[in-house]
């Protein structure tokens, strides 16, 4: 599905106040992501996406932190993607410690996948249930954390 497809044209027209991001850099799957002013139109977006999924069994929707995602209906998620990358890049070695930082419910699969062999860090201002072992409160906290790691390597 590309930006020129009838699917995205029709769906985007129906969700006028939304913006569509069809590809995320470094994402192993292509998908549509809709950012909707949360207090407006959530019911409309939910209904529209459910209608699309009902007509296209090869698609599924998932929701995240104020985000709707339309993905291929395959057994694939961020956890599987992380494990696939580690294997494909030859990084399944004891001296490699994978680090995954995320702020969305869709990141929970990656936190669970790395629980036994890596580090998961959730970014959230408020405490919430998570499979991540650690938490940082803000993107600024992530930046400080990563700078400390880099400084320790130099």
12-22: string of b/e by CB count within 10 Å (b at 16+)?
bebbeebeeee
DSSP β-bridge partners for residue 19: 35
DSSP run (H or E) holding 46: helix 42-55
CA separation for the pair 2, 142 (Å, rounded): 33
Q: Give pLDDT tens digits for 92-129.
A: 999 999 999 999 988 999 999 999 999 999 999 999 99
Domain boundaries, the chain: 6-72, 78-153
Please provide the CATH number assigned to the domain covering 78-153: 3.40.50.1000
Q: What separation in angstroms does the CA of 97 have from each of 116, 125, 144?
A: 11, 25, 19
pLDDT in tens, 26-66: 444 444 455 555 566 778 888 888 899 999 999 988 877 77
pLDDT value at 139 more than 60: yes
- What pTM was computed for the model? 0.67
Q: Please name the residue that has the structure tokens 């139109």.
A: 41
Distances (CA, A) of 125 to 27, 39, 138: 25, 20, 6
């Amino acid at each position: 599905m590309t930006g020129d497809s009838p699917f995205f044209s029709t769906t985007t027209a129906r969700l006028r106040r939304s913006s569509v991001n069809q590809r995320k850099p470094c994402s192993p799957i292509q998908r549509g992501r809709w950012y909707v002013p949360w207090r407006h139109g959530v019911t409309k977006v939910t209904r529209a996406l459910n209608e699309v999924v009902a007509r296209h069994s090869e698609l599924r929707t998932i929701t995240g932190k104020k985000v709707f995602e339309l993905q291929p209906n395959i057994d694939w998620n961020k956890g599987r993607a992380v494990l696939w990358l580690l294997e494909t890049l030859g990084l399944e070695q004891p001296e490699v410690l994978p680090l995954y930082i995320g702020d969305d419910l869709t990141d929970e699969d990656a936190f669970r996948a790395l629980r036994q062999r890596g580090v998961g860090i959730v970014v959230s201002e408020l405490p919430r249930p998570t499979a991540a072992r650690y938490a940082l409160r803000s993107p600024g906290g992530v930046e400080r954390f990563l700078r400390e790691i880099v400084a320790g390597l130099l």
